[in-house]
Structure 1
């Protein structure tokens, strides 16, 4: 695969940096969308997280409307809507309205995980049984609502998702395992593998999706991408610091203490025991960090390993200007 064919996209989590407000985090997401549009990025997805003060993106459908209003050509979407937190009808109506306002630019990326802890998830949707079968039913119901094609004999024959739209948002399933590859191929949706969550088994999941894909009314052939944590800088010391900060964040999550916003000065003297160092080493493949020459080699290999032509970058930095610069350097390498 030629690097000239690689499309770059963004998955943004609206990180709340140390010392700034959630309002500023959303402003930075907006500025990043505008800059990556200027640079030629293909799509810009925003995430759904709950019960954490370090990420501001709790309601992607609202943020998508805002970002689409502040951009012109960039595809804007969710990465993702955590479907078990919502009713299929509500998701269909939200994204139909987005599609009407911005036809041909909206992506509906969906995940099966709650995007939070189990207790919070049960508060978001008290009827959530975390059931795989329920998820499959939701996907079928969503398809029926988006296409006004209720199954005969069901209550859906009495319900329409409004407003009625002439076009349908592009639908994607997000996954950090192979399970959703089966669902995405069965329903004829796009498939996005979260390498930044699980760096193992991704190429096999994408291959399974591609081999078992069933064309749908929305997508005639398979479409896939892979998302990864990336940071690119010409300053090797800055690369080391950002990698250390992300390693610290991973440990925070794994210890169940929740994420807090920290800077280099907060963690530069932290020491780790053997078990913690083992976890840091295990998490390193989730991150593609380095100077431009290193990044180009690593990302080219990643695209070849997955056999995809779209790479989706997730970048969290201590300083916003470093986040912007990283995306600019990536564009210089591939766009």
Structure 2
């Protein structure tokens, strides 16, 4: 049976504010736990006014305290903006309070130029991303080997368990970093579906080096899903998702996630229609059985160990129903 996870952006629906969106994320995490999902991750987005998820560590602490067994993680922390040492201490603190339940997913998305500038203002020369990943591994394993520039430095609190560490990416570079450092790898199919994805993952497995963090390669595939009771209903929801993606990729994004009705009322230009057609390759749309079939096809194609769905659709009820439909279709074991 496929291990199924969720990545949630905390979308702000029309008529809902940021606090409301974060409380909905909390309820969705509780439901995911009851339904038998393995992981519930939250994202880091800056200058995207239609989602409330900007600081995953803070939200993770709340979610972990609001649930009991589901793994809580970041999808992900954009590591180049931060100190590896501080990230390690943040996640050790989370793991200390919620042992064997914390995942650190890391990425290196450059974000908007103004965001990158604000997060890195007046910083001097920074270590490479590859070095930062190696540093995290050092801090998570209490390695005091003399060959590290901070050899005697220990991340606190010192604990007996370790957060799971995942490198997120869409290309061969991130996969090689994960392989070299012996971490799990999450392929973001939703961000950049590519014909080379199968080869990227195969190379990760081939070149994986066993580490103190992970004995054998572990692959997660992340996909956008739009699922409803019928294919027709899913298509209506998907049109609002299409519009949201257009907004996010433009310089004129509203501070909310567009509703189905808003999408119906708004026409698309010929250029926008071309973008929508391209974006549709990033998502799975359909009824539960159709989406299940495509998830299973992608899982087999990529030889994925886990699938993470991103049910970033308008309307909290639609998000609840989406994860319920897939839990039932894929035979997840309920924790109720």
TM-score, length basis structure 1: 0.93
> What SS does structure 2 have at the residue aligned with 1:8?
strand
Q: For 1:175-254, list aligned pairs within 5 A.
A: 175-200=169-194, 201-254=196-249
Sort the Cα spacing of 1:331 and 1:55 in 2 relative to 1 into closer, same or farther, 3 A.
same
Asked if residue 160 in structure 1 is aligned to residue 154 in structure 2, the reply is yes
Work out the CA distance in 2 between the residues paired with 1:127 and 1:85: 12
Instruction: Give 2:60's aligned residue.
Output: 64
Instruction: Map Cα deviations across residues 51-86 of structure 1 (whole Å, 9 max, x no partner).
Output: 222111111111111111111111111111110111
1:240 Cα offset (Å): 1.5
Gap change, CA 1:139 and 1:325, over 3 Å in 2: same
- How far residue 137 of structure 1 moved from its aligned partner, in angstroms, is 1.3
In structure 1, the residue corresponding to 2:151 is in which secondary structure? helix
Matches for 1:262-301 after TM superposition, within 5 Å: 262-301=258-297
Question: SS of the counterpart of 1:268?
Answer: helix
Unaligned runs of 5+ in 2: none
For 2:145 and 2:121, locate their aligned partners in 1 and report how far apart those are by CA, in whole Å.
26
Looking at structure 1, the residues matched to 106 and 253 of structure 2 have their Cα atoms a distance apart, in angstroms, of: 23
Alignment partner for residue 256 of structure 1, among 251, 254, 269?
251
Shift of 1:151: 4.7
The one-character-per-residue Cα deviations of 1:134-170 (angstroms, maximum 9, x if unpaired) are 1111111212222222452655135321111212111
Q: Secondary structure at the match of 2:128?
A: helix
Q: Secondary structure at the match of 2:99?
A: coil
Distance 1:298 1:90 in 2: 39
Query: CA 1:314 to 1:241, structure 2 compared with 1: closer, same or farther past 3 Å?
Result: same
Which whole-Å CA distance do the structure 1 matches of 2:2 and 2:28 have between them? Answer: 20
CA offsets, 1:193-251, max 9 Å, x none? Answer: 11111111322221111111111111000001111111211133321121111211222
* Deviates further, 254-263 or 224-233: 254-263
- Consecutive unaligned residues of structure 1, counting only runs of 5 or more, are none
Separation in 2, partners of 1:49, 1:128 = 21
Q: Which moved more, 1:269-278 or 1:315-324?
A: 269-278
Q: Residue 119 of structure 2 corresponds to which residue in structure 1?
A: 124
- Return the offset for 1:260: 3.9
Cα distance in structure 2, aligned partners of 1:202 and 1:265 = 36
Name the CA shift for 1:219/1:40 in 2 (closer, same or farther; >3 Å): same
Equivalent position to 2:30, from 6, 27, 34: 34
Q: Distance in 1 between matches of 2:291 and 2:182?
A: 32
Distance 1:113 1:129 in 2: 19
Aligned to 1:271, what secondary structure does the other structure show?
Answer: coil
Residues 285-311 of structure 1: CA deviation (Å, up to 9, x unaligned)? 111110122112211111111111311
Quick one: which of 80, 101, 111 aligns to 1:84?
80
TM-score, normalised by the number of residues in structure 2: 0.93
